[in-house]
Amino acid sequence: MILAVLEAEGGALKKISFELLTAAARADEALSSGGVTALLIGPGAAAAASSVPAATAREVLCAEGVAFEHYAPQAYAQAVLAASEAASAKAIVFGATSYGRDLAPRVAAALSAGLLMDVTDLFAHEGGLAARRPVYAGKAIAQEHALGERAVAAVRPNAFAARSQGGAAAPARALAVEVEAQNVRAKVREVRRETGGRPELSEAEVIVSGGRGLKEPANFVLVEQLADALGAAVGATRAVVDAGWRPHHEQVGQTGKTVSPGLYVAVGISGAVQHIAGMSSSRTIVAINRDGEAPIFKLADYGIVGDALEVLPELTREVGRLKG
Partner 1 sequence: MNIVVLVKQVPDTATRIKIASGGTEIERQGVNFVVNPYDEFAIEEALRLREQHQGQVTVLTVGDEKSEEALRTALAMGADEAVRVSAAATDSMTTARAIASVVHGLAPDLVIAGKQAVDDDEGQVGSLVAALLDWPQVTVVTKLELKDGTGVAEREVEGGVEIVDFSLPAVITAQKGLNEPRYASLPGIMKAKRKEIRQVSVDAKTVGEPTLRTLSLQLPPERSAGKILSGMDASSAAKELVRLLHEEAKLI
Ligand X SMILES: Cc1cc2nc3c(=O)[nH]c(=O)nc-3n(C[C@H](O)[C@H](O)[C@H](O)COP(=O)(O)OP(=O)(O)OC[C@H]3O[C@@H](n4cnc5c(N)ncnc54)[C@H](O)[C@@H]3O)c2cc1C
Between strands 8-9 and 12-13, the pairing is: antiparallel
Interface with partner 1 (CB under 8 A), residue total 96
- Residue 221's binding partner out of ligand X, partner 1, none, with CB under 5 to 8 Å set by partner kind: none
The verdict on 104 binding partner 1 (CB under 8 A) reads yes
- Cβ atoms of residues 152 and 95 within 8 Å: no
Instruction: Tell me which of partner 1, ligand X, none is bound by residue 212, counting a contact when its beta carbon lies within the kind-specific cut-off of 5 to 8 angstroms.
Output: ligand X
Q: Does 99 bind partner 1 (CB under 8 A)?
A: yes
Comparing C-alpha atoms, which of 110, 74, 264, 91 is closest to residue 186? 74
Span 250-269, contacts to partner 1 by CB under 8 A: 251, 254-256, 262-263
**Degrees, nearest 5: CA angle 58-172-14:** 85
Closer to ligand X by CB, 88 or 255: give it: 255
What, of partner 1, ligand X, none, does residue 145 touch, CB below 5 to 8 Å by kind? partner 1
Q: How far is 281 from 288, CA to CA, in rounded Å? A: 18
Per-residue contact string for residues 158-177; x = within reach of partner 1 by CB under 8 A? --------------------
Distance (Å, whole) CA 281 – CA 23: 18
> Considering beta carbons, is residue 224 or 297 the nearer one to partner 1?
297
- Contact set for ligand X, span 241-300 (CB under 6 A): 251-256, 268-270, 272, 274-275, 278, 289-291, 294
* Gap between the Cα atoms of 3 and 11, Å rounded: 20
Check if the beta carbon of residue 30 is closer than 8 Å to that of residue 127.
no
Strand partners of residue 130: 123, 145
Site for partner 1 contains 315 (CB under 8 A): yes
Out of partner 1, ligand X, none, what residue 290 binds, judged by CB under 5 to 8 A for its kind, is ligand X
Pick out residues in 187-216 that bind partner 1 (CB under 8 A): 187-195, 200-203, 206
Interface region with partner 1, contact rule CB under 8 A, candidates 20-28, 58-66, 208-216, 244-252: 244-252
Q: Classify residue 212 as exposed, middle or buried by CB count within 10 Å of its CB (0-12, 13-18, 19+).
A: middle
Using the rule CB under 8 A, is 134 a contact of partner 1? yes
User: 168 contacts which partner out of partner 1, ligand X, none, CB within 5 to 8 A by kind?
Assistant: none
**At 53, is the secondary structure helix, strand, or coil?**
strand
CA quadruple 313, 318, 322, 324: dihedral sign: positive
Chain residues that interact with ligand X, rule: CB under 6 A: 211-213, 237-240, 251-256, 268-270, 272, 274-275, 278, 289-291, 294, 307-309
